[in-house]
Structure 1
Amino acid sequence: METIILKKSIGRLATCLALAGFQLAATAADTGTDLVIAHIYSRTGIMESYGKQTQDGLRLGFEYATGGTMKLGGRNIKILEKDDQGKPDVGKRLLEQAFADEQANIAVGASSSGVTLAMLPIAEEYKKVLIVEPAVADSITGEKWNKYVFRTGRNSTQDAVAAMVAIDQQGTHIATLAQDYAFGRDGIKAFKSALKKASLVHEEYLPATTSDFTAAGQRVIEKMKDLKGRKILFILWAGAGNPFRVADLGLERYGIEVSSTGNFLPAMAQYKRFPGMEGATYYFYDIPKNPANTWLVEKHLARFKSPPDFFTAGGFSAAMAIVTALKKTDGDTSAVKLIPAMEGMSFETPKGTMTFRKEDHQAMQSMYHFKIKVDSEVAWGIPELVREIKPSEMDIPIQNKR
């Protein structure tokens, strides 16, 4: 009997040791495997410049957050770069490929709102977290949202509410010019919802590939030329094309001013035509004062011989969100751990502190009221800070159906 008991005890001990050995081996394997981040963005297409900035920022953000090691919890950070070409069907397929075949743990993207909207169901299907950067359409964290979606980029309503600080005044008449797709439509919808004092008298929507803005400009003039009071054409545009050429039609002869949001530096070359123009911006490298932005500006100038741009800061912020979240979960990339860790989570960015709102996972963040200054030695109109618009000052509605 004692021999039988002894044999059973030895057998149980061997099994326990084997299981322990397997668990240790599995833990070692986990810490040794790469942390795979799929970045779906426009390396080509009309938003190519946006994509490159985001990619540069993402890498710089991981570098900053890891002290230059590009490792987290003993794992190498591996970024899969995928070109969606600005096409929703391509972005959807690439994200599915990354999750299904390439073992991506987390995804970041996309440059285009249309592409991003196509990607949202894939994150839900594979139950993996998607960090949305820099697409801004409200519907991403609104009616099309699911719980696997977190957005570090600002949404259209944040743009719109911030813009109101500069131009929503009694007796002001506003016309809008925007692109006829998710970014433009959602943006103007948010803009209209945010208006409290001024009146909206006309809306123009044009294809994203538009190069001739003459007809649209003439329609704006016809609608506004005889109005009394302040008259503003608000332009909301992304990617290719130069809608600011409507000024060639002599808007000033009819007392029509131009206003817009901030933009990436090459696009703001057009702002030099409008000294004193007021608006609100998501980011300009010389505005925020914090350690992350100081590091980013210095590193970017040294590495690329130019300051970081609009979407560079966004990519950086996405990396900071990922690292902050994985430190909270001890490296666990499963959505069941990440989602509760990220809901309500605050993290540092080049814009200062952002916080993922628990209800819709939209990052609450500062915006900046600016006035354009012109310097002959600077290639773009300089958005000088009037004041920081803090998250607590902006009433950003929760638009999803959780």
Structure 2
Amino acid sequence: MLRRHLLIAGAALLAAGTAIAPSVTPAQAQESVKVGELFSYARMAAFADPYRKGWQLAVEEINASGGVLGGKTLEIVSRDDGGTTADAVRVADELVTNEGVEFLFGTFFSNVGLAVGDYAKQRRVLFIAAEPLTDALTMAQGNRYTFRMRPNTYMQTKMLVEAGRESGAKTWAIVAPNYEYGQSAAANFKALLAEMDPEAEVVVEQYPALGKIDAGATTQAILGANPDGIFNATFAGDQAKLVREGQLRGLFEGRTVLSLLTGEPEYLAPMGAETPEGWIVTGYPWDQIDTPAHLAFVEAYQAKYDDFPRLASLLGYSIPYVIKEMLDKAGSTDTEAMVDALKGLEVETPTGPVTMRAIDHQATMGAWVGRLTVEDGQGKMVDWYYADGADFAHTPEAVKAVRPAE
């Protein structure tokens, strides 16, 4: 497919925004491996820009050190997926059919990731999901051609539930965005809470539309139920509104709060002095992690961009190295060979070694768990630790119970 599409006219390639310049000849282009990348760049700019910087840095490093498959250049053709399932499937098909990419990676929203995963299954094209968190991507709707890099909602929710085990909270509220990610997170919380403490119960649930939270009404509904604890899966602007309104009305006083993603710099930094004290969160305390691999990543990122990395930067940076190891192990861009190479593949990343589990195609990348505080007017994670994803992934029995056979 790559060779066929290299014959497209240079002007047409330029108009489509592909990474190959008009002056590149077919012979030269054959020296590269084209990979399609799609992400909700316009809708999720705060996450998308650091993510793109991360993978761009990694691709530059890989190409400077010899490339892939014995010297070929790793070439990324990047597109905005529009943030909707229909747009994402259309973009994925354009990348595969018109641009001739060998495989796909990326996406942000869980519903979009599921749609592209289904496209990968139907077209038998490899897809490595970056950000989508819903369990369904690698569980109930998993397939041979779809893999995921980031720890899913089950893994991160389990990390939080275990971290809050000693809180003593018996009654709980849930607030989560009303789409695939939020629904998955809520379902996991209820199941894990029942396992941890059969006497605990969820007494109120709030599911605002993504990006349209009525923070006043949500806060009042939770206050009316008077729970001991709150499980929060909102993020970005919705979370900022909830924090502001909740603090104004005393929602968080004397209550345990378990909050997905809130410790990530993308969402923590904008809150500044409004950061809620004491929340137990998953996140990324980038400036406190002193392992050699992570320090090297931070140094390279800051040198190139004069900025600090976000969790998205780390995620974006790690994926091209997974791609490199996969290609070198497969020895070709044959789809079935790449899929087989990914199963059980172990890759060194700034977080340490990460394995792509063969049983469900879920990477063992973990997350940091800690508490929030405010120092010098800025939010900060304290008392944190790294939770290895391998310790929180679904059991083989759970996977076999719901994942379709390949």
Q: What per-residue deviation string (whole Å, max 9, x for no partner) do you get for residues 260-299 of structure 1?
A: 1234424214374322322233x33235444442222112
1:111 is aligned, of 87, 105, 108, to: 108
Equivalent residue number for residue 163 of structure 2:
166
Q: What per-residue deviation string (whole Å, max 9, x for no partner) do you get for residues 27-71 of structure 1?
A: x969943211111101212x2222222211112222344455656
Displacement, 1:385? 4.2
Residue 316 of structure 1 pairs with residue 317 of structure 2: yes
Residue 384 of structure 1 pairs with residue 386 of structure 2: no
Residue 244 of structure 1 pairs with residue 243 of structure 2: yes
Equivalent residue number for residue 23 of structure 1:
none
The alignment's TM-score, normalised by the length of structure 1, stands at 0.84
Equivalent residue number for residue 297 of structure 1:
298
Q: For 1:146 and 1:253, locate their aligned partners in 2 and report how far apart those are by CA, in whole Å.
A: 41
Displacement, 1:337? 0.7
Equivalent residue number for residue 36 of structure 2:
38
Q: For 1:64 and 1:168, locate their aligned partners in 2 and report how far apart those are by CA, in whole Å.
A: 42
Q: Structure 1's 348 and 383: CA in aligned 2 closer, same or farther, altered over 3 A?
A: same
1:1-400 aligned at under 5 Å gives the runs 32-45=30-43, 47-67=44-64, 72-169=69-166, 170-195=168-193, 196-197=196-197, 198-224=200-226, 231-241=228-238, 242=240, 243-251=242-250, 255-263=254-262, 264-268=264-268, 269-270=270-271, 272=273, 273-281=275-283, 283-330=284-331, 332-376=332-376, 379=378, 381-397=379-395, 398=399, 399-400=402-403
Displacement, 1:244? 1.6
Q: Structure 1's 52 and 311: CA in aligned 2 closer, same or farther, altered over 3 A?
A: same
Q: 1:31 touches 1:74 (CA, 8 Å); kept in 2?
A: no
Q: For 1:125 and 1:262, locate their aligned partners in 2 and report how far apart those are by CA, in whole Å.
A: 32
Q: What secondary structure sits across from 2:83 in the alignment?
A: coil
Equivalent AA in structure 2 for residue 293 of structure 1: H
Q: For 1:306 and 1:251, locate their aligned partners in 2 and report how far apart those are by CA, in whole Å.
A: 35
The alignment's TM-score, normalised by the length of structure 2, stands at 0.83
Q: For 1:326 and 1:288, locate their aligned partners in 2 and report how far apart those are by CA, in whole Å.
A: 30
Q: What secondary structure sits across from 2:38 in the alignment?
A: strand
Bigger radius of gyration among the two: 1
Q: For 1:325 and 1:293, locate their aligned partners in 2 and report how far apart those are by CA, in whole Å.
A: 22
* Structure 2, gaps ≥5 residues long: 1-25
Equivalent AA in structure 1 for residue 255 of structure 2: I
Q: What per-residue deviation string (whole Å, max 9, x for no partner) do you get for residues 120-162 of structure 1?
A: 1221233221010011111111222111011111111011011
Q: Structure 1's 63 and 215: CA in aligned 2 closer, same or farther, altered over 3 A?
A: same
Equivalent AA in structure 1 for residue 261 of structure 2: G
Q: What secondary structure sits across from 1:255 in the alignment?
A: coil
Q: 1:369 touches 1:388 (CA, 8 Å); kept in 2?
A: yes
Q: What secondary structure sits across from 2:141 in the alignment?
A: coil
Q: What secondary structure sits across from 1:363 in the alignment?
A: coil
Equivalent residue number for residue 6 of structure 1:
none
Is the deviation greater in 270-279 or in 105-114? 270-279
Equivalent AA in structure 2 for residue 140 of structure 1: L
Q: For 1:32 and 1:84, locate their aligned partners in 2 and report how far apart those are by CA, in whole Å.
A: 26
Q: Structure 1's 261 and 212: CA in aligned 2 closer, same or farther, altered over 3 A?
A: same
Q: 1:347 touches 1:355 (CA, 8 Å); kept in 2?
A: yes
Q: What secondary structure sits across from 1:373 in the alignment?
A: strand
Displacement, 1:220? 0.3
Q: 1:284 touches 1:310 (CA, 8 Å); kept in 2?
A: no
Q: For 1:117 and 1:343, locate their aligned partners in 2 and report how far apart those are by CA, in whole Å.
A: 20
Displacement, 1:81? 1.1
Q: Structure 1's 383 and 66: CA in aligned 2 closer, same or farther, altered over 3 A?
A: farther
* Structure 1, gaps ≥5 residues long: 1-27
Q: What secondary structure sits across from 2:326 in the alignment?
A: helix
Q: Structure 1's 192 and 391: CA in aligned 2 closer, same or farther, altered over 3 A?
A: same
Displacement, 1:255? 3.0
Q: For 1:326 and 1:59, locate their aligned partners in 2 and report how far apart those are by CA, in whole Å.
A: 18
Q: For 1:271 and 1:252, locate their aligned partners in 2 and report how far apart those are by CA, in whole Å.
A: 19
Q: 2:219 touches 2:251 (CA, 8 Å); kept in 1?
A: no
Q: What secondary structure sits across from 2:265 in the alignment?
A: coil
Q: For 2:341 and 2:123, locate their aligned partners in 1 and report how far apart those are by CA, in whole Å.
A: 19
RMSD after superposition:
2.4
Equivalent residue number for residue 14 of structure 1:
none
Q: 1:71 touches 1:77 (CA, 8 Å); kept in 2?
A: yes
Displacement, 1:189? 1.1
Q: What secondary structure sits across from 1:179 in the alignment?
A: coil
Q: 1:165 touches 1:369 (CA, 8 Å); kept in 2?
A: no
Displacement, 1:259? 3.2
Q: For 1:158 and 1:339, locate their aligned partners in 2 and report how far apart those are by CA, in whole Å.
A: 23
